[in-house]
Copies of this chain bind each other. A is one copy, B any other.
Amino acid sequence: MQNFTFHNPTEILFGKGMIAEIAGRVPADAPVLLVYGGGSIKRNGVYDQVRIALKHHRVIEFPGIEPNPLYETCLKAVAIVQAKQVHFILAVGGGSVIDAAKFIAAAAVFDGNNPWEILRTTGGCVKAALPVGTVLTLPATGTEANGNSVISRQATQEKLHFTSAHSFPVFSVLDPTTTFTLPKKYIRNGIVDAFAHTMEQYMTCPAGAPLQDRLAESILHTLVEVGPVTLAKRRHYDARASFMWSATLALNTLISCGVPQDWATHMIGHELTAFYGLDHAETLAIIMPGVWRYKLAAKQKKLEQYGRRVWGVRTAAAAIAKTESFFHNLGMPTRLGDYKINAVEAAEKVRARFIARGVAFGEHADIDGNAAAAIIRSRA
């Protein structure tokens, strides 16, 4: 087991009616920036619950955060935060809204000339951030309980992430009933996203950490079990709640304690979103089986363990096939051809970008531009 530091100060408020609990947790001595997206929270009652909870607070609204939130949009919010002396940011929505709020919170107090530095240094230059609270309405990314954020820049077709200990939300409300009205595609994406997050921290070379393996398998098992149920029966509270809590624990930094991590699937996937506009989860379902097959020698033991424990199969190949079938059964394609994307062209675009940046990913840092291109071509 590797040495590690684990520190997750986010308070989770989980369950029916928990939005009311935010009233005492949002400071009332300065304006609050309420950040949200396209307005679905006005149709499903979440907006009303939040405004009732904050009826004694001064609230400044900042709607219009996009899916794959834009740097350009965030900078407009930063200007408002600075002009109005906002001291607290409340993000109400899915991962994009929360990621945007984290970036706004860090950029608003950034001690430098250009907040793009926050992304260019993947958070290394973040020394402080305004406090952020969240009301999560879309289980998927785990951003409600970690210090990560992914931001896209329209001008350059780039999608970059940052991580900071200052960017953990101070609280996050997870009320499964607020997700009952989500379209099926969002649930499908969320299940695959949580599954892939777990895998990035689990499907590596063995590391002498049997507890971490079993914790990760717990999440995988649960997603396999409740995923199809919550997709079919959206008002089944326990299934939706189990999915929601699984998505949080998949990326609250617990299961990565003391073990190597991969993340090549995510890094390649981000480029496919940046170039082709695929949903984040769609890119993961395409790339992940390709990474596993490409790195079969290094990952074989863990793939066999995964197959045996989660699927009851014996071989690495069968474990990969079971995973692809699981995605297909959720209605999630796993090939670039399913989206009419030319794999050879995509491979060259990503290869060029990785090489230009001089980056390589995976637990052995060997998924460079050439490896990424080979993986992408294998997913035609």
Contact = CB atoms under 8 A, between A and B. Distances in A.
Interface of A: 1-18, 21, 208-211, 214-215, 217-219, 221-222, 225-226, 237-238, 241-242, 245-246, 249, 254, 257-258
A214 B218 contact: yes
B14 A6 contact: yes
A131 to B, nearest CB: 14
Contacts of A215: 215, 218, 249
A14 B5 contact: yes
Contacts of A3: 14-18
A210 B12 contact: no
Contacts of A217: 214, 218
A3 to B, nearest CB: 3
Contact of A222 (B11, B210, B221, B241): B210
Contacts of A218: 211, 214-215, 217-218
A238 B209 contact: yes
Given A6-B14, A14-B4, A15-B4, A210 B237 contact: no
Given A208-B242, A211-B222, A211-B245, 18 more contacts: A3-B16, A3-B17, A5-B14, A6-B11, A6-B12, A7-B11, A14-B257, A208-B237, A208-B238, A209-B242, A210-B225, A210-B242, A211-B242, A214-B221, A217-B218, A245-B257, A245-B258, A254-B254
Contacts of A7: 9-12
Contacts of A14: 3-6, 257-258
Interface centre among A7, A226, A254 (most CB of B within 10 A): A7
A5 B241 CA distance: 14
In order of increasing CB-CB distance, the 8 nearest A-B pairs are: A3-B15, A214-B218, A208-B238, A7-B11, A6-B12, A211-B222, A1-B241, A9-B9
Nearest to A172: B6
Contacts of A238: 1, 208-209
Interface centre among A2, A17, A222 (most CB of B within 10 A): A222
Contacts of A10: 7
A248 to B, nearest CB: 9
Contacts of A11: 5-7
Nearest to A1: B241
